[in-house]
Amino acid sequence: MNKKNILVGQSGGPTAVINGSLYGVICEGARHSDAVGCVYGMINGIEGFLADSYMNLSETLSDDDLELLRLTPAAYLGSCRFKLPENLSDSFYRVLFEKLERLDIGYFFYIGGNDSMDTVSKLSRYAAQIKSPIRFIGIPKTIDNDLWGTDMTFGFQSAVDIATEAIDRIHTTATSHSRVFIVEVMGHKVGWVTLHAGIAGGADIILLPEIPYDVDNVVRAIKSRTEAGKHFTIIAVAEGAITKEDAALPKKKLKEKQEKKGYPSVAYELAEKIQNRMDQEVRITVPGHTQRGGSPCPYDRVLATRLGAAAADLILKEDYGY
């Protein structure tokens, strides 16, 4: 078998466990030494690679380094947010493929979310168009858990843990000061992390992008809790949650409206609307990017390593398009 090299990159928002999948690709690549020459890593994703920023991971990382890589919560190769041209005739693709050919790349792995899978899709289609033998494989990573064709993406469970802990910890002040607390949870345009953390943390109200909300209903729910003798309320709101009124607007109009309103994020808008309708103190907690870092949960560690290894294993089986 003619040996070819692997090129692997990390892209988009990191997760606590993104290095686990890189570890999986490198180890599985090394195991298939009959088919794989060496493993190169793009530094800062495809954007970095285009600027000739990459490293030879097979030469750089010792076995001890690999063990550290598996356990260290960081995006070792760095990341980027970079959208490839829609038009496959753009000279961008020719330039990129020349760079891949110069490194004798046979297998290209991209660890990321929706934009990264879009990159993999475009490169695969371009490869088919020019009859290139280079194969492209996407490894599904995102805390948002919103990748088509997957049951669960790695990073999601760790983010749920962190958001749940934020809700758990807010209970102390919410109850001691009889406040309404809004905990804003990440997830881009979907509510998976919020729903799971909200249920696990015992949030009293959960607002998701998938179900546009009505502020009057939210206030009604808070008041009925007070009437029932519960003097605090915790609201888990997804960063992409939206009112019924805004959901009815065309996309462009909505964007203009949001820019005009100028709230830092959805929690601030919701807090103001609630505060305008009642006297109870309202406070905001935004765990933000902490949901993508720190020590990953065991479930994610196992899933990330398995998916990284499975992706490299597809090479041997010559089972592409996944």
Judged by CB under 6 A, the stretch of 84-92, 170-178, 185-193, 208-216 that binds ligand F6P is 185-193
User: Is residue 113 near ligand F6P by the rule CB under 6 A?
Assistant: yes
Only segment of 102-110, 180-188, 194-202, 256-264 that touches ligand F6P (CB under 6 A): 180-188
Q: What is the tally of helices (H) and strands (E) in the chain?
A: 13, 9
Count of residues of this chain found to bind ligand F6P when the rule CB under 6 A is applied:
11
Query: Taking CA 200 as the corner, what is the angle to CA 196 and CA 204, rounded to the nearest 5 degrees?
Result: 95
Instruction: Confirm or reject binding of residue 166 to ligand F6P (CB under 6 A).
Output: no
Site for ligand F6P in 14-73 (CB under 6 A): none
* Residue 186 interacts with ligand F6P (CB under 6 A): yes or no: yes
Q: How far apart are CA 234 and CA 200, in angstroms?
A: 13
188 binds ligand F6P (CB under 6 A): yes
The stretch near ligand F6P (CB under 6 A) out of 17-25, 41-49, 142-150, 309-317 is 142-150
| Residues from 232 through 271 that contact ligand F6P (CB under 6 A) | 239
Kindly compute the dihedral angle of the four CA atoms of residues 76, 77, 79, 84, in this order, to the nearest 10 degrees: -150
Considering beta carbons, is residue 161 or 239 the nearer one to ligand F6P?
239
CB of 136 to ligand F6P, least distance (A): 21
What span, in angstroms and rounded, lies between the C-alpha atoms of 50 and 52? 5
| Measured CA distances, 293 to 59, 135, 141, 155 (Å) | 27, 31, 13, 9
Residue type, 318: E
Span between the terminal Cα atoms of the chain, in Å: 22
Q: Other C-beta atoms within 10 Å of 151: how many? A: 7
196 binds ligand F6P (CB under 6 A): no
- Residue 182: CB minimum distance to ligand F6P, A: 17
Closest CA to 150 of 177, 172, 117, 178: 117
C-beta of residue 180 within 8 angstroms of C-beta of residue 232: yes
**Which residue, 105, 48, 40, 51, is CA-closest to 78?**
48
Q: Which helix (H) or strand (E) holds 198?
A: helix 192-201
- Give Cα 305 distance to the centre of its chain: 16
Of the residues 115, 144, 161, 300, only one is catalytic, namely: 144
Q: Could you say whether residue 287 binds ligand F6P (CB under 6 A)? A: no
Residue 296 touches ligand F6P, criterion: CB under 6 A: no
* For ligand F6P, the closer CB: 143 or 237: 143
C-beta closer to ligand F6P: residue 12 or 24:
12
Binder among 29, 187, 296, 308 for ligand F6P (CB under 6 A): 187
Q: From the CB of 190, what's the least distance to ligand F6P, in Å?
A: 9
C-alpha 92/C-alpha 127 separation (Å) is 13
Which residue, 9 or 187, is less far from ligand F6P as judged by CB? 187
Q: Which two tokens stand for residue 152?
A: 């669960």
Tokens of 241: 């949650």
Q: Catalytic annotation on 144?
A: yes
Report DSSP state, residue 13.
S
Q: Name which position in 9, 13, 24, 112 contacts ligand F6P (CB under 6 A).
A: 13
Interface with ligand F6P (CB under 6 A), residue from 143, 160, 307, 315: 143
Give the nearest residue (CB) to ligand F6P. Answer: 13
Given 144, 161, 184, 300, the residue binding ligand F6P (CB under 6 A):
144
Catalytic residues: 144
Q: Which residues form the interface with ligand F6P (CB under 6 A)?
A: 12-13, 113, 142-144, 186-188, 239, 292
